[in-house]
Amino acid sequence: MNIALFGYGKMGKEIEAFATESGHQISARVDSSNSKESFDYSNIDVIIEFSKPEFAAENIRFAIDHAIPIAIGTTGWYDQLEDLTTYCNANKGCMLHATNFSLGVNAFFAVNRYLAKIMNELNDYKAEVVEIHHTEKLDAPSGTGISLAEQIIEEHQHYNNWENNKPSALQNKDALAIESQRLPKMPGTHEIKYTSEIDSIEIKHTAHNRKGFAQGSVLAAQWLVGKKGVFTMQDILKF
Tell me which residues are annotated as active site: 133, 137
Which has the closest alpha carbon to 122: 236, 199, 68?
199
Handedness of CA 76, 79, 82, 84 (dihedral sign): negative
Q: What phi-psi label fits residue 188: left (phi over 0), alpha (psi between -120 and 50 degrees) or beta? A: left
Confirm if 213 and 101 have CB atoms less than 8 A apart. Answer: yes
Sequence-distant (6+) residues with CB within 8 A of 123 are: 158
Residue type, 164: N
CA–centroid distance for 232 within its chain = 10
DSSP symbol at 226: T
